[in-house]
Amino acid sequence: MKQTVQKLMGDKGSRRAPKRTNDAARTRSDILLAAIQEFGEKGLDGARVDSIAAATRTSKRMIYYYFKNKVGLYLAALEHSYSTTRDGEVALKLDLLSPEAAIRTLVTVTFDHHLQDEHYVRMVMSENINRGRYLAQSQKIQELNRPAIALIRAIYERGVASGVFREGLDPADIHASISALAFFNVSNRHTFGLIFNQDIQAPAYVANRRESIVQMILRYMARTATP
């Protein structure tokens, strides 16, 4: 009987452990998502941990338990943003597409990701204002972003081998061009729209801008492009 009770208690405990683990992971994820919005809207200096705690129905004590302090939370939010972006790229399975179709898909998804996640763009802008001083403290930021270059290199090399892309291009430069064009569409949306009287949120404008960027990248990479 005693062994039976112990077995039942052990089984019960084994069932509870994953739940506690899942709850902790979910709480941490919720905090990070709220932090991205808070830091994206107000920057590191203007953001308030109290607001993040209220948004997640948790406490500052719990936030500091997971992230140590405000800077630790900010850095974790940055890492989470980059990681989510890279995971989304890998999930596209671009190796199954032709090189041209893969680049078109990557540019389109990057454009849409930036457009739909303004807080990510604003956080990156904020960290550039800080001259990257906090991101420089990350122990894994380069590892998180290395897949982005590896992904483009694989597509590019397939394109060169099949004769659709010209030789001599740097995958990191291709990545920079894609990021810059997609990033500007969000980072400068308000000033650009006001200065040039453009409704940059109109579906027709967005579709045209997306396709323009796709064509810029493809024509730059094309074998017939002028060096």
Instruction: Map out the domains of the chain with their CATH numbers.
Output: 2-221 (1.10.357.10)
pLDDT of residue 8: 37
Q: Is the pLDDT of residue 15 over 80?
A: no
End-to-end CA distance of the chain: 82
- The tens digit of pLDDT for each residue in 86-113 reads 999 989 999 999 999 999 999 999 999 9
Q: Burial of 140 by CB count in 10 Å (0-12 exposed, 13-18 middle, 19+ buried)? A: exposed
Kindly report the pTM of this predicted structure. Answer: 0.84
- The tens digit of pLDDT for each residue in 28-50 reads 999 999 999 999 999 999 999 99
Report which of 214, 211, 216, 102 is spatially closest to residue 159, judged by C-alpha positions. 102
Q: Is the pLDDT of residue 16 over 80?
A: no
Tell me if residue 142 falls in helix, strand or coil. Answer: helix
| Percent of the chain residues past pLDDT 90, beyond the cut | 82
Tell me if residue 19 falls in helix, strand or coil. Answer: helix
Both tokens of 199, joined, read 């409704």
Q: How far apart are CA 83 and CA 72, in angstroms?
A: 16
- The tens digit of pLDDT for each residue in 189-214 reads 999 999 999 999 999 999 999 999 99
